[in-house]
Structure 1
Amino acid sequence: MRRLVLAPPRPWIPTQRGRVIAAAPPRRRVVSCGLSVTGFGLCAVFYCLSYTPSLLPRTWSLQGVVAGLTAAIGYALGTAIGALVRWRWWPSRRAERIAWRVLFLLVPPLILLFLWLGTRWQRDLRLRLGMPPQQEYDLMRTVGISLLTFGLLLLVARCLRLAAHGLARLFGRLVPESAAYCAGFVVVTLLSYTAFDGLLVSNLYTTADRSAAVTDSGTGRGVERQMSPLRSGSPASLVSWESLGRQGRNFVAKAPSHDQLAAFARRPVAEPIRLYAGLSSAGSVTERAGLLVREMDRTGAFGRKVIAVFTPTGTGWVDNDVPSSLEYMYAGDTALVSMQYSYLPSVISFAADRSKVVEASSALITAVRARWAAMPAGHRPKLLIFGESLGTYGTEKTFGSASAMVSGADGILLEGPTFANPIHRSLTAGRVAGTPVWDPSYPSLPVEFSSRAEELRDLPGPQPKVVYMQNSSDPVVWWSPSLFWKKPQWLSGTRGPDVTPAMQWYPVVTFWQTTVDAIFANKVPTGHGHVYKSGAVDGWAALAPPPGWTVADTVRLRALFDSD
């Protein structure tokens, strides 16, 4: 009985006596195994496309990593396509040689062309966003990093391939050749996934969790315990200073001083109330929310002109420009509250467990609204609600519908909503025909969208009750899994003011580029990417301006924040 062989079909070699024998199968090696012609071709295409512009500019080092990873993705897809083609039709050696020669002629000038274009695109994009241009010599380092990244990924892939072939040879002693190769592939895939998920991802998550916990236990530079009874963590507070966490201590300590408020308002001012509950301030979100309401009663928060509930980002961070805006606008006659639900960054919290932000947002908003609604209608302060990034998701899930948001507070300001936000998605889909997705119109409800904060200064019609601030270059807003296979609406028709005309959609590549943009979306100037900061002044002025507030006041306050 002829023994099964575990390799692609062997060439038959004639002997002197007319018999034929099978040539010995080639030994599999990691390095000496040739490149796939289809893999190399698609790798070159993806490498060139990685230099095309996306929403945000990239540093030379980040561009190098992106280019290397994108090239590796292209090589993997090209190799898979080549394998499928060879399954039905095996090209001749002559056809392969011709294909390689064509690639050797076309690829080098094509790469040089895209390197030159990429430099221009990045320079133009940086200037569009008000950033200084890169130095031209960084291009060489970019290429070096990209080749190193691609080489490392290719080496890992070759090692896995070698392991699969080794297992196939072992299994071939027991099962037919095709089954042996299939088993080898499945075993290596399962082991790789287990190693990646069980060792790498879990360890990275654990490391991030421990690192975030250590960071959360610290105190920011210049932040000191507050002695005022109007702040959480003070000696009179029901919440201990230690339990606030790093971001909570920042929140209560960074309110503008009496002198700062007086210098801007030019009239008598009050000391702002800032209250916060950290993860260890109470055992559950419901208990923390109840603790904050008791803190509000203790400090007389419901006697202020404005109370505002802030749903923070994953780490518990609240951009200080946002609460400070209200305090300057109302001369300190405000009470601001927030509550931590995690100490992990938003991107990890979003991927790992979004239920935490929903639970925390719902508990705090519901508790504050219940206490506020119990007051006589004519004696209630203005109730404002704020959410940024993941906080917008928690706020939307708390109310459940756009009409509930409109009727549930005196004003709701949401900055940088995510693709998963159900109300934002519904409002955008139901916008007035002809209005762009990045600046939709929805006249049946007092809901306003703004791609630039300055647009909110002269709004037609009645005062809005809900304002969405979404920079047209914010990848957190525009990222979606469908970018993998479908051209987005924000790249069709009229584009947002920040989106470069040179940006085009490419399957896989645009999804990957926008993913990278979302990770580094806070590394750009105010008003671009995921950075809103002083733009909140325009948002609050559109929703709940104090009596006598003017556009000149908005400009003056924004200039104060931007000068810091």
Structure 2
Amino acid sequence: MADGASALTRSGARFPAPSWLPSWLRPRWRTGRGGRPERHGPIVRRRPSWGAVLGAWAGYSLSLTPSLLPRAWWLQGLCAAVSAAIGYALGAAVQAVARRCGARPGPRTVRWAWWILGAVVLVGTVLVTARSVHWQGEVRRAVALPPQLPWWQWVLVPLVAVAVGGLLVLLARSLRLGARALARVLRRVAPAPVAYAAGAALVAVVVVGVVQGFLLSGVLSAIESGASLADRGTSPGIVRPDLPTLSGSPVSYESWDSLGNQGRNFVGQASTRDELTRFAGRPAMDPVRVYVGLRSADTLPKRAALAVAELERTGGFSRKVLAVMGTTGSGWINPQASAPLEYMYAGDSAEVGLQYSYLPSVASVLTEDEAAKAGAALFDAVRAKWLTLPAATRPKLVVFGESLGSYATERAFDGDPSRLGTEADGALLVGPTFDNPLWLEVTRDREPGSPQWRPVVDRGARFRFAQVPADLGVPATPWPGPRTVYLQNGSDPIVWWSPGLLFHRPDWLDRPRAADVSPAMNWYPVLTFWQVACDLADANGVPHGHGHRYGTMPTTAWAAIVPPPGWTSADTERLAARLTGLGQG
């Protein structure tokens, strides 16, 4: 016994703990095999466990496998860091369970295991990082980008991953330390299992409260404050219109300032009569564009009523086609979706939009109820007035929405496909989100054998899904209408990211795949969810026809949904060529 105590003393002298540390932070020692001292129950380990390191390396390696879009080196580094942290937690948990079950290898085995793991991590990291350059080249080629990569930048990926991953692990260990400290206090009045469970629960409540009540609210407030200031600005080249057919003009019910930045862009980019006349080869009209900004009134019903009043003032209800345009979070309407109708109908068109937030879609998606209410309020108000018109002279009533705007548009019909077909004469929905109720229903009801990225629903009688013009002819069956077109690129993370990716393999990875999805992409629980989430950051950083960029496909879609009399496929091609490069669509 004396020898054991002596060993413990020598060990303690070798690694003395500072006297100012509380007892629960100091390492505790016990006599192990052969009388050797062993640390027992440390609060914070001096080094990660073997399983944690292996899990972190596996998470890092899997994060480098192909996803929907190519990534910049820094974004790949951040993605790898989080993936490694997830793997670290899983590996540590597995080893802890194994130890509980009695798996306690001897010191010699442990030493060899660490040497082997070190060699695997060192060599494996070099190999998988080099291989990832090839994978990224494949993904870049799939989305029409040059496959070459600056390899020297990719060398920085593991460095970023180690730095950021280390911070994440440090944060997690700090939270664990806090939970165990609370548990030690609670053990004075409760059994150990209850104390540890309560400590973990209290820390979780505090973390969630801080994130939701402080960080999230603070971040959203800061973003909204900045977005509100940006909303007061005016983009270069946009000037106040003089035409009475446009909101914000001198005779408009809506002041120029009240429209907001995106509203001013929408009315300021309206096609001119001269442009429409030259394209049509006959006299054209000044198109109607109505927009109501967030500052125009303090409630949605009031803003919707103002939109109807503006449509009446501008003569929008007497045009041949009337489009209710769902906006994104900041109020943006894609010029590639608004201009085609004006050209197709030689200005005999009206379009109306309503702003419901200052936030960009990436932030306003957290408050998507506002989008749903705005979509329903605007469409219901416009349609109520439209129904009072003689049926023979009513304009064709169509709806449009992109990204979060498509969600707002769908919610105007309560996600009911039958309502969409009876209450509107056509719909164009671009880059729908995972939460779009109507999109979810019709995609789920697709015919067996049709892929999720281009489903066939009810033999294509009402709904068509397209990435390229030829997709609108699939299936080759009659399309009586009213027609609804979904534009969705196979590589658009805004369409394909969803919470379901955490634990379920998505159907869009089945064969055959969309042409711009790498054949080497695989699904991994949790990690693929995070990979596609990272793709969201640069969804617009690829050429048209990939990611969340749809180019002139809205022109092709509108020509299929509500073509004017005498419109031909040659006209569609000519208009698409005319609108190439317009805006950021």
Question: Which residue of 1 is the match for residue 88 of structure 2?
Answer: 75
Question: Which residue of 2 is the match for residue 505 of structure 1?
Answer: 523
| CA displacement 1:351-373 (0-9 Å, x = unmatched) | 2x222112111111111112222
State whether structure 2 residue 463 is matched by structure 1 residue 447.
yes
Secondary structure, aligned partner of 1:493: coil
Question: Which residue of 1 is the match for residue 11 of structure 2?
Answer: none
Counterparts of 1:190 and 1:376, CA distance in 2: 59
Structure 1 contact 432–440 (Cα < 8 Å) conserved: yes
Secondary structure, aligned partner of 2:278: helix
Q: Give the C-alpha shift of residue 545 in structure 1.
A: 1.1
Question: Which residue of 2 is the match for residue 462 of structure 1?
Answer: 479
| 1:362 aligns with one of 376, 381, 395 | 376
Q: What amino acid maps onto 2:96 in structure 1?
A: A
Counterparts of 1:190 and 1:542, CA distance in 2: 53
Structure 2 contact 290–307 (Cα < 8 Å) conserved: yes
Q: Give the C-alpha shift of residue 529 in structure 1.
A: 1.3
Question: Which residue of 2 is the match for residue 59 of structure 1?
Answer: 72
Q: What amino acid maps onto 1:402 in structure 2?
A: P
Secondary structure, aligned partner of 1:383: strand
Question: Which residue of 1 is the match for residue 494 of structure 2?
Answer: 476
Structure 2 contact 465–471 (Cα < 8 Å) conserved: no
| CA displacement 1:530-564 (0-9 Å, x = unmatched) | 12242100110110112222222222222222245
Question: Which residue of 2 is the match for residue 11 of structure 1?
Answer: 30
| 1:345 aligns with one of 330, 354, 360 | 360
Q: For structure 1, which runs of at least 5 residues remain unmatched after alignment?
A: none
Structure 1 contact 277–292 (Cα < 8 Å) conserved: yes
Counterparts of 2:32 and 2:83, CA distance in 1: 42
Question: Which residue of 2 is the match for residue 327 of structure 1?
Answer: 342
Using a 3 Å threshold, how does the CA distance of structure 1 residues 191 and 372 change in structure 2: closer, same or farther? closer
TM-score w.r.t. the length of structure 2 is: 0.89
Alignment of 1:378-397 (within 5 A): 378-397=392-411
Using a 3 Å threshold, how does the CA distance of structure 1 residues 191 and 296 change in structure 2: closer, same or farther? closer
Q: Give the C-alpha shift of residue 337 in structure 1.
A: 0.5
Q: Give the C-alpha shift of residue 269 in structure 1.
A: 1.3
Question: Which residue of 2 is the match for residue 243 of structure 1?
Answer: 258
State whether structure 2 residue 322 is matched by structure 1 residue 307.
yes
| CA displacement 1:20-74 (0-9 Å, x = unmatched) | 9997757655xx7111111111111110111111111111111111111111111
Structure 1 contact 537–554 (Cα < 8 Å) conserved: yes
Q: Give the C-alpha shift of residue 13 in structure 1.
A: 6.6
| 2:245 aligns with one of 230, 235, 239 | 230
Structure 2 contact 427–561 (Cα < 8 Å) conserved: yes
Secondary structure, aligned partner of 1:86: helix
Counterparts of 1:513 and 1:220, CA distance in 2: 34
| 2:553 aligns with one of 504, 522, 535 | 535
Question: Which residue of 1 is the match for residue 507 of structure 2?
Answer: 489
Question: Which residue of 1 is the match for residue 297 of structure 2?
Answer: 282
Q: What amino acid maps onto 1:497 in structure 2?
A: A
Counterparts of 1:21 and 1:103, CA distance in 2: 26
Counterparts of 1:5 and 1:223, CA distance in 2: 65
Counterparts of 1:288 and 1:500, CA distance in 2: 45
Which runs of 4 or more aligned residues in structure 1 lie more than 6 Å from their structure 2 counterparts after TM superposition? 4-9, 20-24
Question: Which residue of 1 is the match for residue 137 of structure 2?
Answer: 123
Counterparts of 2:33 and 2:117, CA distance in 1: 35
Deviation larger for 102-111 or 224-233? 102-111
| 2:53 aligns with one of 30, 40, 62 | 40
Deviation larger for 74-83 or 174-183? 174-183
Deviation larger for 38-47 or 193-202? 193-202
Structure 1 contact 6–168 (Cα < 8 Å) conserved: no
Structure 1 contact 255–324 (Cα < 8 Å) conserved: yes
Deviation larger for 364-373 or 335-344? 364-373
State whether structure 2 residue 436 is matched by structure 1 residue 421.
yes
Q: What amino acid maps onto 1:11 in structure 2?
A: R
Using a 3 Å threshold, how does the CA distance of structure 1 residues 168 and 541 change in structure 2: closer, same or farther? same
Deviation larger for 250-259 or 166-175? 166-175
Q: Give the C-alpha shift of residue 279 in structure 1.
A: 0.9
Q: What amino acid maps onto 2:145 in structure 1?
A: M
Structure 1 contact 5–177 (Cα < 8 Å) conserved: no
Secondary structure, aligned partner of 2:151: coil
Counterparts of 1:358 and 1:557, CA distance in 2: 32
Q: What amino acid maps onto 1:451 in structure 2?
A: Q
Secondary structure, aligned partner of 2:486: strand
| 2:575 aligns with one of 540, 557, 563 | 557
Counterparts of 1:519 and 1:176, CA distance in 2: 47
Q: Give the C-alpha shift of residue 492 in structure 1.
A: 1.4
Q: What amino acid maps onto 1:467 in structure 2?
A: V
Deviation larger for 368-377 or 94-103? 94-103
Counterparts of 1:22 and 1:563, CA distance in 2: 73
Counterparts of 2:377 and 2:157, CA distance in 1: 48
Using a 3 Å threshold, how does the CA distance of structure 1 residues 44 and 259 change in structure 2: closer, same or farther? same
| CA displacement 1:279-302 (0-9 Å, x = unmatched) | 111221111111111111111112
| CA displacement 1:301-354 (0-9 Å, x = unmatched) | 122111111011111110111101111111111111000111112232222x22
Structure 1 contact 454–538 (Cα < 8 Å) conserved: no
**Cα RMSD over matched residues?**
2.6
Counterparts of 2:191 and 2:472, CA distance in 1: 70
| 1:273 aligns with one of 288, 291, 298 | 288
Secondary structure, aligned partner of 1:291: helix
Secondary structure, aligned partner of 1:294: helix
Secondary structure, aligned partner of 2:212: helix
Using a 3 Å threshold, how does the CA distance of structure 1 residues 293 and 549 change in structure 2: closer, same or farther? same
Structure 2 contact 285–347 (Cα < 8 Å) conserved: yes
Counterparts of 1:487 and 1:281, CA distance in 2: 46
Q: Give the C-alpha shift of residue 419 in structure 1.
A: 1.6
Q: What amino acid maps onto 1:469 in structure 2?
A: L
Counterparts of 2:39 and 2:444, CA distance in 1: 62
Q: What amino acid maps onto 1:328 in structure 2?
A: Y
State whether structure 2 residue 163 is matched by structure 1 residue 148.
yes
Alignment of 1:68-107 (within 5 A): 68-94=81-107, 95-107=109-121
Question: Which residue of 2 is the match for residue 212 of structure 1?
Answer: 227
| CA displacement 1:480-530 (0-9 Å, x = unmatched) | 212111111111121112111010111111111111213332222221111
Deviation larger for 316-325 or 119-128? 119-128
Q: For structure 2, which runs of at least 5 residues remain unmatched after alignment?
A: 1-22
Counterparts of 2:501 and 2:577, CA distance in 1: 37
Secondary structure, aligned partner of 1:440: coil
Secondary structure, aligned partner of 2:485: strand
Structure 2 contact 329–358 (Cα < 8 Å) conserved: yes
Using a 3 Å threshold, how does the CA distance of structure 1 residues 11 and 292 change in structure 2: closer, same or farther? same
Matched residues, percent identical?
42
Structure 2 contact 240–249 (Cα < 8 Å) conserved: yes
Deviation larger for 165-174 or 543-552? 165-174
